[in-house]
Amino acid sequence: MTSVQTGAAKAAAVWEKLKQEIKAAAPEMGIDDIGFASAEPFVTLKSILEQHRAKGFESGFEEPDIEKRVRPELKDGESASLIAIAVAYPSKMINPPKSEPGAYRGIMARSAWGQDYHQVLRAAMDKLVHFIRERVPEAMIESMVDTGALVDRAVSQRAGIGFSAKNCAIISPKFGSWIFLGELVTNIPFQPDNPVTEDCGECTKCIDACPTGALVGPGQLNAQRCISFVTQTKGFVDEEFMLKIGNRLYGCDTCQIVCPKNRGKNWDHHPEFHPDPEIVKPLLIPLLDIGNREFKERFGQSSAAWRGKKPIQRNAVIALGNFKDKTAVPKLTEVLKRDPRPELRGTAAWALSRIGGEDAMRAIGEAAANEQDGNVLSMLQKAKERLSSSETLPDKPQAEQTSNNKPEGQKEQNETSEQENGQTTEPVKPEAAAWKPSAVTGLHGTPVYYDEVLTPIGTLTLCATEKGLCHIDFGAFHVREAHLQQWARTWIGEYRYEKNEEKLNEAAQQLKQYFAGERKAFELKLDLLGTPFQLQVWQVLSDISYGEASTHQQVAEIIGRPKAVRAVLDAISKNPIPIIIPCHRISGKDGTLVGYVGGLQTKEQLLTLEQQS
């Protein structure tokens, strides 16, 4: 047995030995990955959380005291280390049942498949705590899963489990993002593990695919717009979100399904997470008759049960409306007239108006004559107006309405059975009246000013925020617009492009002076947007003088990462302000020209210009 008070000289070897023993024993405890980190405060995270709160992006499920979220603490002593664990879960289902006319189904997010992960992780961590205390009896250890004060993702990232992705998940190089996270705080001073250096690069698939634009930027989630959060709320749901929920009963996997890092990853080695298809893809209409006892028996072991049956039943009503299931009209009419819960009655009115027909119209009219709740009456009125206006429109063919039995507003990849079978069907778009600009590409976001300047190497598009020049692209704006939109969506979030010659005048003039051989250094305010690693690399590039040259290896050495040459190459290729930040001055080890964002011919022209001046 070992004492936590072991002398400093001996301590490092003692704790390293214990750390390696823990890592070796972890798989037997049901732990797929484990990492160690310092228990120092998460200083940078604090400001992020404060901004998140100020913008109204919190879900309300978080620990309200931000200090507790960023300061790992033990109740009875000083914390020294954090231990992060990860347990992988499946992303695919064997022989999943399909939705069919008259027998439509909902879908639970993969995190709710099988046994409640809180129970599984707590059992694993209990074993881990017992393992440690057998060797260090007086060790102080506190464990937490999801509901603890600390931010699981921040702990896992620091401990080297994975990197924090643009979809706000932790992505493990081995397991992808299909992992549950937990952590322990202890007074044992373990040596920290190295964080993962991999990142998302320029990929924005998750941001692009988010049904409601809840991912407002890389690693920035507006939880109030997140489908996963909305499906767990207990009240009324705005029509915008009902259209986007599709047939989701609990949670949303879209941003993980589209992630290239998850491609081909499916983990079925934990039997406790194996899904029962009839539970995770249940028939919708029978859900509306389920009582409390039956709900607990069927869904009680799932993490989806923590909010009770009301949100799931409401979401089932929404799904029936999105499927436009005419066979559901009698059951929805019963809910509308007899269910004691206002949110179920109001949602049934909405669903019936989506399905349409004389029976739906009659049910809504009869319910309106007896309804007392103001919110439900409002939804009944809107339903009546929708049905009245739809009478003048030609009916769509049934196949188009259901999009091969897909609910409207539901992206293909979220219908598990079809996604796993590799089928691709375009989802039907919701009616134009319900459309709203997405939060990511809305017309009222942060302005990005742009202008074009003619140069000896062709037209350049210059972009700036209020803070300064932020992007230079090779080509005219209309040619490069899609690329510029993707860049702004990634780094700014809510944006709009606005042509403004005045805002870019100084940058244009200095560039003209540079190409005329009259300027060797730029004096411009910049708004550099990138990862901390990229910013570090770009700063080194900025220090390379006019007419000089450097190599990727030299840059890697300057930033203290001599083995990170590939990562340096990647950061250089993503330099958002070429010429101003002179990445054209980088060459191969032997002085040969290497790739350049504007093309090798352009690079040659820039180097020739500087050599002649």
Angle formed by the axes of helices 117-135 and 8-25, nearest 10° = 140
Average pLDDT (31-55) is: 92
Instruction: Give the right CATH number for 205-434 from 3.30.470.160, 1.25.10.10, 3.30.930.10, 3.40.50.12780.
Output: 1.25.10.10
Q: What is the pLDDT of residue 221?
A: 93
- pLDDT above 60 (res 415): no
- pLDDT above 90 (res 461): yes
> Residue 213 CB: number of other CB atoms within 10 A?
22
Out of 32, 126, 146, 238, pick the active-site residue.
Answer: 146
Q: Which long-range contacts (C-beta less than 8 Å, at least 24 apart) are formed by 59-68?
A: 59/223, 59/224, 59/226, 59/229, 61/229, 63/148, 63/149, 65/149, 68/149, 68/150
Query: DSSP code of 188?
Result: S
Q: How far apart are CA 380 and CA 134, in angstroms?
A: 64
In degrees, rounded to 5, the angle at the alpha carbon of residue 585 between the alpha carbons of residues 584 and 590 is 110
Q: Which two tokens stand for residue 523?
A: 């004096």
Which parts of 170-324 fold into alpha helices (H)? 205-209, 227-230, 239-245, 254-257, 277-280, 284-287, 292-299, 309-323
pLDDT more than 70, % of the chain: 89
- pLDDT above 60 (res 246): yes
Q: What is the pLDDT of residue 444?
A: 60
List, by residue range, all CATH 1.25.10.10 domains of the chain: 205-434
Average pLDDT (213-242) is: 92
Task: Indicate the pTM of the whole model.
Answer: 0.68
pLDDT band at residue 4 using 50, 70 and 90 as cut-offs:
low
- What kind of fold does domain 446-612 have according to CATH? Arc Repressor Mutant, subunit A (1.10.10)
Task: Please give the radius of gyration of the chain, using alpha carbons only, rounded to the nearest integer.
Answer: 28
pLDDT more than 90, % of the chain: 65
List, by residue range, all CATH 1.10.10.10 domains of the chain: 446-612
Q: What is the pLDDT of residues 309-358, one digit of tens each?
A: 999 999 999 999 999 999 999 999 999 999 999 999 999 999 999 999 99
Average pLDDT value for the chain: 86
Q: What is the pLDDT of residues 79-126, one digit of tens each?
A: 899 999 999 999 999 999 999 888 999 999 999 999 999 999 999 999
Average pLDDT (444-469) is: 92
Instruction: Please indicate whether residue 126 is annotated as part of the active site.
Output: no
Q: Which two tokens stand for residue 441?
A: 């590409």
106 close to 405: Cβ distance less than 8 angstroms: no
- pLDDT above 80 (res 2): no
Q: What is the pLDDT of residue 570?
A: 85
- pLDDT above 70 (res 424): no
472 close to 579: Cβ distance less than 8 angstroms: yes
